[in-house]
Amino acid sequence: MVSDLIGEEIFQDLIVATLQDVTGMVLPGSHLAMALATHVSRAFFKVLSKHKKGDQQDRLDALARMPFSRAFGLAAEQVAEADLDEDLKGELVKYLSAIPMTSRQAIHRWDDGGHVTTLLSQLPRGPEQMVRFLPIRPPRFQPGYKVPGHDLRLETLLGQGGFAEVWKARNTVRSGEPPVALKFCLDEELLTSLKREIELLDKLKGYSPEKDFVQLKQTAYSADPPFLVYEYIDGGNLTNWLESFQDKAPKPEEVVSVLKMAARAIAVAHEHNIVHRDLKPANLMVTGEGRVKVADFGIGAVMAESEAAKGGQDLADSANPTLLHGAFTPLYSDPMRDRSDPPSPQDDVYALGVIAYQLLVGNVSWRMEGGWRRYLEKLDIPEPLIEVVDTCVAPPDQRYANAGALLAALESPTKSNKPKPKKPKAPQPKKPKPKSPPSTEVRFCHQCGGRLPPGNKFCNACGHPVPGGAA
């Protein structure tokens, strides 16, 4: 194993380079987070790129193993001597000391067996790729923090979002309890979004098996700050899963398997009038066994038509139940969509189409731009699977109605459907075929996405014929 001293060495070099970059800088409080990420990513890449690639891997591995207490001590010691505003010093220490944790999350993969090591394909190629190794902003908490009023102690920072901070935590009384993930809401103006997330997950709980969604275990809505307790997913997210292929694209059948798991979960949500609204690789978690689970319904919505019909409530309130009216991730958002329209299941279908494309090319940063179909053909992706992706991102009137319809399409073979020529055979007397019992597998209609009763030959809702349905 590479000496941990190498990790301390590059961490100290990073601190020095960062201080040289930010000294004399005037940072308004509202811009502090963005400024630190920009400056530290530039400094980090500068010190890392001085070494050969193999040495870069060793240094990142050692940095990721550094205990928080050691990182905090080194950062506090060196920052104290800098000619900076005292408030900035405090924020800079919190930011720098979190880097070993965020680096560990950046290189973690679902199949690493707990031994976090940097793949050659994970090495950043520029300052902009260095950002994923860094916090978004100085963390609100630190490892070892005991949550007031709860038998929970924070262990490591798992991620940050626009209004949230997610930490891995353990029970301080029951040592045998598995770890959990705590999602803190750091902006009281967004408590409506947190409450909506609780309501949506409670609504889904009665309809979906635990394998489909990251499970909400407990709420602390009245805590300061409020937080939710989720099951801890040990394999990271879909980005981490993709990185395990080391810059190579997964086989189409592996991509289809992932898409089926995601589409099956979202189909359940759509069936009960719930739209996720922010599907992306970071919100598709992967367990150590390779099971995909959907997370983060923070900006999810109950479809306006359904809610308005129930209680006559205002359509705009129902369509935009959170304070995050325009919240979405642009890369996975339908450019043809009118933002004033109520949320639709087709929003999620579009996002799944983009995710499918990124998985097939092996890169979650790629955009679906002109020529994307030709590129998939060049990669020898089966034509039926390209058609599925195409239908996901087509104009709404040509797109799958919901994730149930997408799942039905994915259940079809991804190989060529052209029949193979057969040699003529002598006519044989027809024998009556034994009737097989109707299937109990849950299926969805390819046309309307509705749930199909077992053994049906036609969809009850729209009359569309069902491939393989009982006569």
Q: What is the residue-wise DSSP string for 203-236?
A: HHHTTS-TTTBPPEEEEETTSSS-EEEEEPPTT-
Q: At residue 99, what is the residue type?
A: I
Tell me the sheet residues that pair with 169: 154, 180
Is residue 278 part of the annotated active site? The answer reads yes
Give the span between the Cα atoms of 149 and 220, in whole angstroms: 10
Question: Are 180 and 84 within one domain?
Answer: no
Question: Are 326 and 219 within one domain?
Answer: no
Whether residue 148 contacts residue 54, with contact meaning beta carbons closer than 8 Å, is answered with no
Question: Are 209 and 245 within one domain?
Answer: no
Residue 311 has pLDDT above 50, yes or no: no
Question: Are 259 and 180 within one domain?
Answer: no
Among residues 208, 231, 254, which one ends one of the domains? 231
Q: What are 121-134's pLDDT values in tens digits?
A: 899 999 999 999 99
Among residues 133, 162, 194, which one ends one of the domains? 133
Residue among 61, 278, 334, 347 flagged as catalytic: 278
Whether residue 138 contacts residue 165, with contact meaning beta carbons closer than 8 Å, is answered with no
SS (H, E, C) 400-455: CCCHHHHHHHHCCCCCCCCCCCCCCCCCCCCCCCCCCCCCCCCEECCCCCCEECCC
- The percentage of the chain sitting over the pLDDT mark of 90, rounded to a whole number, equals 56
Mean pLDDT of 48-62: 95
| Cα–chain center distance at 382 | 26
How much is the CA Rg of the chain, to the nearest whole Å? 25
Question: Are 246 and 299 within one domain?
Answer: yes
| pTM, rounded to two decimals | 0.82
Give the span between the Cα atoms of 465 and 446, in whole angstroms: 9
Question: Are 100 and 245 within one domain?
Answer: no
Whether residue 57 contacts residue 7, with contact meaning beta carbons closer than 8 Å, is answered with no
Give the span between the Cα atoms of 266 and 206, in whole angstroms: 15
Mean pLDDT of 215-240: 93
Residue 438 has pLDDT above 60, yes or no: no
Q: Which of 185, 187, 210 has the alpha carbon at shortest distance from 198?
A: 185
User: Structural domain tally of the chain?
Assistant: 3
Q: What are 163-199's pLDDT values in tens digits?
A: 789 999 999 999 889 999 999 999 888 888 888 888 8
Note the pLDDT of residue 16.
95
Q: Which residue has the higher pLDDT, 174 or 428?
A: 174
Question: Are 252 and 332 within one domain?
Answer: yes
Question: Are 207 and 336 within one domain?
Answer: no
Question: Are 38 and 128 within one domain?
Answer: yes
112 inside domain: yes
345 inside domain: yes
Among residues 215, 231, 247, which one ends one of the domains? 231
What is the average pLDDT value for the chain, to the nearest integer? 84
Residue 321 has pLDDT above 70, yes or no: no
Note the pLDDT of residue 376.
96
- Provide the residue range defining the domain that includes 215: 152-231
Give the span between the Cα atoms of 138 and 130, in whole angstroms: 16
Question: Are 355 and 376 within one domain?
Answer: yes
Query: For residue 318, what is the domain's CATH number?
Result: 1.10.510.10
Give the span between the Cα atoms of 265 and 261, in whole angstroms: 6
Mean pLDDT of 15-28: 80
Question: In 66-168, which residue ranges form alpha helices assigned H by DSSP?
Answer: 68-79, 86-97, 99-107, 127-130
Give the span between the Cα atoms of 289 and 232, in whole angstroms: 14
Q: Which of 163, 94, 103 has the alpha carbon at shortest distance from 133?
A: 103
Question: Are 227 and 243 within one domain?
Answer: no
3-state secondary structure of 158: strand
266 inside domain: yes
Note the pLDDT of residue 301.
74
CB atoms within 10 A of CB 191: 16
Whether residue 315 contacts residue 308, with contact meaning beta carbons closer than 8 Å, is answered with yes
Q: Which of 162, 157, 158, 137 has the alpha carbon at shortest distance from 322?
A: 162
Question: Are 17 and 115 within one domain?
Answer: yes
Mean pLDDT of 304-318: 40
CB atoms within 10 A of CB 443: 21
